Amino acid sequence: MTSSHSSPPRLHIHEGVATVTLNRPVQRNRLENDDLSLLLQHFAQVHDDHRVRVLVLTANTTGQPKPVFCAGYDISGFKEDAQGSSTFEKIPEALAQLRPITVCGLNGSVYGGATDLVLACDVRLCLEGIEWRMPAATLGLHFYPSGLQRYVSHFGLAAAKRAFLTARVFSSAELQALGLFDAVVPAHLFEAQLQALVSDVSALAPLAAQAMKQSLNDIAAGTHNASLLREREIQSTRTQDFAEGLQAFAEKRKPDFQGQ
């Protein structure tokens, strides 16, 4: 059973799936300065471990009256670190650039900078009934540039302006209407559907999936090179995974991709 004990984010790796769990449920999983450093270490470890095909980001919500995935950055950290915002910015940036496919299991409400962690993931599953709020302007804070860019990219300009310029709450239904999630799921189905999603992603040919992730991100950022994207396509046809995929299709069985 998951403990309600407060501790830094945990990393668990099993059979190609890395799970990072925010683990301060009593403090609504707020992120402290030490947590930021540890998250960067976790992400680097996952990135370098080529056995890992999927990273899942989720939270321990045990004992909470209403589940909170993350209440955001602990603002007292600004007193310890005058560059608190720029330090926090490194976390979603590192998450967005990870080699494996990243899945956010958004199993509670999310606030402030933590919303950018959700947006930095490749695929997202949402618990029905959560709320999402960006209160930067209520604190007198101009949000960091890469986070603003991610908001506009995922929300569109009008909804991003609503988020930042009204600080009003978005419901899970409103977020789903923006296309942010693979699905919005009731509590009794959440863990099963999260595992099913992770299983589907894990079953993909990892080299092809990871290369397409990079290409899609390049296109979204407006930095793509058509020749490079074509080269990635060609390289995929030269892999053992592609040969396995073709053979499995012909034999009407599930492929066994080895990442080669």
In a domain, 29, yes or no: yes
Residues 217 and 150 grouped into a single domain = no
Same domain for 218 and 143: no
Scored b (16 or more CB within 10 A) or e, 183-196 reads ebbeeeebeeebee
Residues 195 and 224 in one domain: no
3 state SS of 76: coil
pLDDT of residue 78: 62
- The tally of domains found in the chain comes to 2
Residue 81 is part of which domain span? 10-202
Q: Are residues 218 and 239 in the same domain?
A: yes
The pLDDT assigned to 3 comes to 57
Residue at 256 is within a domain: no
CATH number (domain holding residue 49): 3.90.226.10
In a domain, 90, yes or no: yes
Write out the H or E segment, with its range, that includes residue 59.
strand 54-59
Say what the pLDDT of residue 85 is.
62
How many CA atoms does the CB half-sphere of 62 hold within 13 Å?
12
Distance of alpha carbon 43 from alpha carbon 49, whole angstroms: 10
159 with 215, same domain: the answer is no
**Residue 150 covered by a domain:** yes
Q: Is residue 70 part of a domain?
A: yes
What pLDDT shows up at residue 1?
Answer: 43
185: phi then psi, degrees, rounded to nearest 5: -125, 135
Q: Are residues 227 and 99 in the same domain?
A: no
pLDDT along the chain (260 residues), means of 10: 74 96 95 93 96 97 95 74 72 96 98 97 97 96 94 96 97 96 96 97 95 92 88 94 94 92
Whether 260 is in a domain gets the answer no
In a domain, 1, yes or no: no
The pLDDT, as a whole number, for residue 221 is 83
Assess whether 109 and 172 both reside in one domain.
Answer: yes
Please identify, among 202, 219, 241, the residue that sits at the C-terminal boundary of a domain: 202
Do 92 and 111 share a domain, yes or no? yes
User: Does a structural domain hold residue 5?
Assistant: no
Query: What three-state secondary structure class fits 131?
Result: strand
Note whether 80 and 142 are same-domain residues.
yes
> Are the C-beta atoms of residues 33 and 89 closer than 8 Å to each other?
no
- The two three-digit tokens of residue 48, written as one number: 């370098």
For residues 217 and 192, state if they share a domain.
no
Contact 143, 165 (CB under 8 A): no
CA distance 7 to 200: 31
Are 142 and 163 in the same domain? yes
Domain identity same for 160 and 83: yes
